């Protein structure tokens, strides 16, 4: 099995590594399959465990930081290749993918900066003792990522785990394994010791489930659907009670008050739902608009959505490419049909874009009610609903009438309205007069059924460290 393939795209030619990245080498799966199996997971976990107990243990925190920083530099150096891979593999526009690479490298560098700034405390209880805490690595971390931001999710997971001295077995999504493997090559080039970061491709039910059940994995970090998140938590509980963090689905409200700058709000609402073709866990898919500006908003939003450039991912001007797979395309079209059948009004879109490929027109439904599946369920595509409210209390009630709680937004020029509503909405992130502006310095995660724990920012470091208390007795003279 050739482990590198020459890929020629319209803009560049590059060597794509394949196989399993283990101990800094690309190797074939033990059973000769393209997607790795349970046995491969076991080999990767052993490599990570050996690395944890070896050279890595003695590497200084500042050296860990330097390695991450070097990795970030290499990712930036190879921006064009990585962005092209993302466009090819995921379908996102290459211009948008360049933004993903910049954010991914930024995240890795940011956590490199944290590596030598992780401190415990000294706790003064009495004169006969010295008590202090150490923030120790959790150990071998299993990380399972989705297909919507393949490289960015790789960076969100690897950055904090490595900064805090852990080792990693990361499984990419079966739909989008390529950027994870290309970036693995950069891990070796950056000079990480073998086995510190191991990357496998594999199906969720096989390789993902094997990571969740593995008795020698100390922690699992998962980003994906709420359904699978529940299974991971159960599997962790049934196996070795590995620590779990989950970043799951959402049905996030985007609330427009009558005193908002309407054009500005329309732009952010448009970006909130259609960015990444609606394939964002935090997508602003439920738009709540005050009745006094409802019709005006819908007219402006329709015009704005129709201007989104849908098309070839290899075109740098493309805002919206195809959905990731036939399965996702069919699911989304199923929701669109269900919305129509339930009597919702199609303001724009509501059909496939063109005659081939998984392209879907940016779709807006209005005249919906809270019982419709398009209002209740995560669609994960370029489809949103617009609902009317008359009072602030009603807006808050509608915003919170979901089992999810990942994100929300408020559009208003009134600081009191913006802050009151931000405080009342049950969501892990609230954007005021903007949307989807994630940043690696800001914690991100879910209230309610949208997840457990926080990624990014200094908060993510807690997921990857365990606190040890040391109490020393001081003999009296
Ligand atoms: P999506 O529906 O967006 O594909 P999933 O939650 O199915 O989201 O997938 C997200 C990630 O979880 C992928 O890497 C996938 O392979 C993995 N996965 C899917 N099912 C399982 C499972 N039962 N156990 C562990 N990982 C899984």
Ligand 1 centroid to Cα of residue 131, in Å, is 43
Q: 1 pLDDT band (50/70/90 cuts)?
A: low
Taking the centre of ligand 1 as the mean of its atom positions, its distance from the CA of residue 90, in whole angstroms, is 16
Name the residue with the closest Cα to ligand 1, atom 20. 204
In angstroms, the CA 40 to CA 81 distance is: 28
208 lines ligand 1 (CB under 6 A): yes
pLDDT tens-digit map of 93-143: 999 999 999 999 999 999 999 999 999 999 999 999 999 999 999 999 999
348 lines ligand 1 (CB under 6 A): no
Report pLDDT digits (tens) over 309-334. Answer: 999 999 999 999 999 999 999 999 99
Question: For ligand 1, is residue 205 a contact (CB within 6 Å)?
Answer: yes
35 has pLDDT over 80: no
Q: Which residues contact 375 (CB under 8 A, 6 or more apart)?
A: 286, 368, 369, 385, 387
Atom 14 (ligand 1) nearest CA: 173
Q: Which atom of ligand 1 is nearest to the CA of 202?
A: 16
Give tens-digit pLDDT for 274-287.
999 999 999 999 99
**204 C-beta closer than 6 A to ligand 1:** yes
Which of the following is catalytic: 36, 86, 174, 247? 247
- Give the C-alpha separation, 395 to 196, whole Å: 48
Pocket mutation for ligand 1, best pick of 40, 156, 211, 228 (most atoms within 8 Å of C-beta): 228
pTM: 0.97
- What are φ and ψ of residue 311, in 5° steps? 165, -155
Ligand 1 atom index nearest CA of 380: 3
Sign of CA dihedral 123, 125, 131, 133: negative
Give the distance (Å) from ligand 1 centre to CA of residue 225.
7
Q: Is 212 in the pocket of ligand 1 (CB under 6 A)?
A: yes
Q: Tell me if 177 CB under 6 Å of ligand 1.
A: no
250 lines ligand 1 (CB under 6 A): no
247 CA to middle of ligand 1, Å? 12
CA of 374 to the centre of ligand 1 (A): 22
Q: Is the ipTM of this complex over 0.90?
A: yes
For the chain, give the percent of residues with pLDDT over 90.
97
Find out whether the beta carbon of 144 lies less than 6 Å from any atom of ligand 1: yes
> At 476, is the pLDDT very low, low, confident or very high (cuts 50, 70, 90)?
confident
Q: Which residues is 26 bridged to in the sheet?
A: 21
Q: Is 173 in the pocket of ligand 1 (CB under 6 A)?
A: yes
Asked whether 174 lines ligand 1 (CB < 6 A), one says: yes
Q: Mean pLDDT throughout 144-160?
A: 98
Q: What is the pLDDT of residue 33?
A: 74
pLDDT at position 34 over 80? no
224 lines ligand 1 (CB under 6 A): yes
Q: Which atom of ligand 1 is found nearest the CA of 231?
A: 23
**Mean pLDDT computed over every residue of the chain:** 97
pLDDT of residue 37: 86
Which numbered atom of ligand 1 lies nearest the CA of 225? 6
Expressed in angstroms and rounded, the spacing between residue 101 Cα and the centre of ligand 1 is 23
Mutate to test the pocket of ligand 1, among 36, 173, 175 (most ligand atoms within 8 A of CB): 173
247 is known as an active-site residue: yes
> Which atom, in ligand 1's list, is nearest to the CA of 235?
24
- What's the gap in Å between 13 CA and the centre of ligand 1? 31
Using CA atoms, how far apart are residues 451 and 225, in angstroms rounded to an integer? 10
- Is 146 a pocket residue for ligand 1 (Cβ < 6 Å)? yes
For residue 465, how far is its CA from the centre of ligand 1 (angstroms)?
Answer: 25
Q: How far is CA 297 from the centre of its chain?
A: 30
| Interval 382-407: pLDDT, tens | 999 999 999 999 999 999 999 999 99
Centroid of ligand 1 to alpha carbon of 248 (angstroms) = 11
- Give yes or no for residue 133 CB within 6 A of ligand 1: no
Q: Is the CB of 267 under 6 A from ligand 1?
A: no
Which ligand 1 atom sits closest to the C-alpha of 228? 6
Predicted confidence band of residue 226 (pLDDT cuts 50, 70, 90): very high
pLDDT at 26 over 80: yes
């Amino acid at each position: 099995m050739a482990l590198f393939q020459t890929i020629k795209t319209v803009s560049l030619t590059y060597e794509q590594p394949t196989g399993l990245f283990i101990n800094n080498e690309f190797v074939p799966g033990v059973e000769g399959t393209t997607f790795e199996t349970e046995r491969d997971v076991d080999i990767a976990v052993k490599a990570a465990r050996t690395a944890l107990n070896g050279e890595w243990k003695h590497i200084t925190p500042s050296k860990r930081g330097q390695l991450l920083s070097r990795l970030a530099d290499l990712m930036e150096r190879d921006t064009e290749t990585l962005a092209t891979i993302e466009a090819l593999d995921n379908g996102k526009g290459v211009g948008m993918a360049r933004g993903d690479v910049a954010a991914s490298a930024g995240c890795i560098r940011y956590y490199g900066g944290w590596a030598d700034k992780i401190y415990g405390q000294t706790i003064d209880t009495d004169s006969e003792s010295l008590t202090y805490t150490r923030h120790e690595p959790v150990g071998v971390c299993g990380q399972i990522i989705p297909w919507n931001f393949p490289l960015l999710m790789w960076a969100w997971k690897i950055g904090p785990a490595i900064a805090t001295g852990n080792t990693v077995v990361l499984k990419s999504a079966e739909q989008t394994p390529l950027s994870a493997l290309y970036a693995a090559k950069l891990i070796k080039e950056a000079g990480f010791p073998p086995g510190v970061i191991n990357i496998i491709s594999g199906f969720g039910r096989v390789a993902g489930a094997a990571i969740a059940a593995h008795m020698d994995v100390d922690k699992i970090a998962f980003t994906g659907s709420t359904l699978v998140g529940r299974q991971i938590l159960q599997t962790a509980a049934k196996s070795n009670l590995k620590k779990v963090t989950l970043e799951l689905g959402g049905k996030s409200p985007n609330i427009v008050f009558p005193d908002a700058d309407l054009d500005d709000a329309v732009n952010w609402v448009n970006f909130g739902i259609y960015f990444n073709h609606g394939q964002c866990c935090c997508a602003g898919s439920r738009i709540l608009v005050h009745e006094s500006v409802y019709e005006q908003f819908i007219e402006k939003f329709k015009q704005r959505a129709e201007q989104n450039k849908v098309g070839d991912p290899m075109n740098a001007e493309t805002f919206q490419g195809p959905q990731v797979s036939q399965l996702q395309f069919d699911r989304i079209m199923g929701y669109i049909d269900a919305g129509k059948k339930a009597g919702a009004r199609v303001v724009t879109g509501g059909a496939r874009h063109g005659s081939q490929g998984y392209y879907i027109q940016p779709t807006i439904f209005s005249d919906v009610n809270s019982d419709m599946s398009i209002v209740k369920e995560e669609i994960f595509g370029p489809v949103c609903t617009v609902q009317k409210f008359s009072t602030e209390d009603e807006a808050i009630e509608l915003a919170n009438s979901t089992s999810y709680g990942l994100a929300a937004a408020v559009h208003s020029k009134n600081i009191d309205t913006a802050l009151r509503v931000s405080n009342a909405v049950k969501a892990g992130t609230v954007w005021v007069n903007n949307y989807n502006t994630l940043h690696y310095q800001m914690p991100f995660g879910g209230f309610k059924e949208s997840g457990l724990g926080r990624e990014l920012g200094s908060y993510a470091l807690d997921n990857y460290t365990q606190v040890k208390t040391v109490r020393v007795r001081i003999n009296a003279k």
